[in-house]
Amino acid sequence: MQRVFEILDAQPEIADQPQAQSLSTIEGHVRVERVSFGYDPQHLVLLDLSFEAKAGELVAFVGPTGAGKTTVINLLHRFYDPIEGRLTIDGKDLRDVTLESWYRQIALVPQETILFGGTILDNIRYGNMAANEAAVMEASKAAHAHDFITSLPDGYQTLVGEKGVNLSGGQRQRIAIARAILKNPRILLLDEATSSLDTESERLVQEALQRLMEGRTTFVVAHRLSTIQRADRILVLDKGKLVEEGTHAELLERKGLYHYLYTIRLNEPTA
């Protein structure tokens, strides 16, 4: 019980500042200004990183393993605050807005989908607890999830088990996408959302993601470079630094790190 109460009494590292204000409706213009960060302050993972995403743009992060791609997503979600520099939304420092109001504006679809040991309906509704069943079904249809859900013996009342053990990887991801669609965020974070799927599941998930990204500022980390060719801007990271920036065509023409990574991935054997 002592250990349980230690966990219950633990205070989060990231908390609202005394002057924090609630965000109202946002456009979705994000700027990262000279940000440095390390999980251990003595060993920085990101070094003097700067970039921006205008409202509605798709920005992709590419780089070798350990380049800092997922760390950028963690900072954008505000799981952590930068050691140096700042992140702004429509000109406001993220540290000056309340966490609750920021989380209302964003949705994260990670590689490992988080599902709870309840019904499929409740798992999707977690994105918007006030949504009715009709709204949940519309979100599921947009995420290519409705057909497989209705084919289950109990439909939307099917119990998924802890972490969604009763569902395939592609099915779990489509439920996570339906949840994000139901939330209707302005900012979308996708971290390796299709890397562990088979070809058919990836196709369905990609189609669902395309619908989800429409009209939203989207940041995406993708192992398969073919999934980010449509990005408005591709940021190439290496050892925590931004080393290249541009469109897919521009970066291929430069024949730098992106060209190397793209060529290597194209020659990888497919499952």
pLDDT at 271: 45
What ranges do the domains of the chain cover? 44-105+186-271, 114-184
pLDDT at 29: 95
Q: Is pTM, for the whole model, over 0.95? A: no
pLDDT at 270: 47
pLDDT lower than 50: segments of the chain: 269-271
pLDDT at 93: 94
Same fold, 44-105+186-271 and 114-184: yes
- In CATH, the architecture of 114-184 is 3-Layer(aba) Sandwich (3.40)
* Residues 262-268: contacts with CB under 8 Å, at least 24 apart: 262/225, 265/223, 265/224, 265/225, 265/226, 266/225
DSSP sequence for 204-238: HHHHHHHHHHTTSEEEEE-SSGGGGTT-SEEEEEE
pLDDT in tens, 25-51: 889 999 999 999 999 988 999 999 999
User: Hey, what CATH topology would domain 44-105+186-271 get?
Assistant: Rossmann fold (3.40.50)
Rounded CA gap, 149 and 158, in Å?
8
pLDDT in tens, 153-195: 899 999 887 777 778 888 888 888 899 889 989 999 988 766 5
